[in-house]
Structure 1
Amino acid sequence: MEGDVVEYRIDRGSGVPAYVQIVEQTERALRIGTLKVGDKLPTARQVVAATAINPDTVLRAYRDMEHAGLVELRRGLGTFVTRSLARPGAEDDSPLRADITAWTARARAAGLERADILALVTATVDAYDNEQTTQRHPRRPGAEKNDV
């Protein structure tokens, strides 16, 4: 690959540091299979040219990902993906992805903006996880909070 598998976009108004955004966008690409083991990330110079951020910021993100075992920095060659985060069902061509795409189109048609959609999805996932935890670990009738 020539480093064009992922294009970083920095949201300066988000309050999230640019290096964290690069790490999060890379992890997302690893989860959905856009990036695969062996793929080359864009060079720091390419990221700087595309985003107008400091080269040290890009290098910090790449070092953080290297420490996490996601990428390997090879001197003179570039930065390469060493581990996938993809799970079955998250691929570009999965039926779940098609369902989410259709739902997103309905949400947009209803007037929801990106932040609204993300908040709704996050709240739904949180509620689902809480429900599953409650079902797996029901409280005993009469049990006190500290009596676990």
Structure 2
Amino acid sequence: MQFRVDRTGGIPAYVQLAGQVREALRLGWLKPGDRLPTVRDAVAASGVNPNTVLKAYRQLEFEGLVEARQGAGTFVKASLRSVDPEVMTDLRDHLAHWVLRAREAGMNDEGARALLGAVLDDKDTEGER
């Protein structure tokens, strides 16, 4: 897992880090038993203060998603995955194809995110969820 922090937005760095762990859990990139990067490694990758990483890890621990083991590190305790891995792979492939089509049509990433968000928020697709 490689952390990244967007300093241009108004979202605190610890919230971004915790969100990235949650995202990795939802997508199945992290599973129970996996070790999160050490604070030192997370600091080196993201350029944030060690206390910021610790705050993110404490938040995740409070949520019951990770557990700190003295002298061993921080480990994933729970999963947020709600879809079968094969289904997730199929959905990812379809979405990757859609993104490729959108880019070929001249849509930039910001436009694609806006369109995806609009579809997710669309009341007409609620019954299909």
Q: Tell me whether the two structures share a fold, i.e. TM-score over 0.5.
A: yes
Secondary structure of the residue that 2:68 maps to in structure 1?
strand
Q: What is residue 63 of structure 2 aligned with on the other side? A: 68
Structure 2: unaligned runs, 5 residues or longer: none
Percent pairwise identity: 46
Q: What is residue 78 of structure 1 aligned with on the other side? A: 73
Q: Say yes or no: does 1:102 pair with 2:74.
A: no
Q: Say yes or no: does 1:28 pair with 2:23.
A: yes
Secondary structure of the residue that 2:57 maps to in structure 1?
helix
Tell me which protein shows more helix as a share of its residues: 2
Q: Say yes or no: does 1:121 pair with 2:116.
A: yes
Contact 2:119 2:125 in 1 (8 A): no
Q: What is residue 131 of structure 1 aligned with on the other side? A: 124
RMSD across aligned positions (CA): 1.9
Larger Rg: 1
Structure 1: unaligned runs, 5 residues or longer: 1-5, 136-148
Secondary structure of the residue that 1:64 maps to in structure 2?
helix
Q: How far apart, CA to CA, are the structure 1 residues paired with 2:97 and 2:85?
A: 15
Call closer, same or farther: CA 1:98–1:9 in 2, change over 3 Å. same
Call closer, same or farther: CA 1:90–1:22 in 2, change over 3 Å. farther
1:75-108 deviation line (CA, Å, top 9, x unaligned): 1100000000112256696211100011111222
Q: How far apart, CA to CA, are the structure 2 residues paired with 1:132 and 1:113?
A: 24
Q: How far apart, CA to CA, are the structure 2 residues paired with 1:9 and 1:118?
A: 19
Call closer, same or farther: CA 1:27–1:80 in 2, change over 3 Å. same
Q: What is residue 41 of structure 2 aligned with on the other side? A: 46
Contact 1:44 1:55 in 2 (8 A): yes
Return the letter of the residue paired with 2:111. Answer: D
Secondary structure of the residue that 1:94 maps to in structure 2?
helix
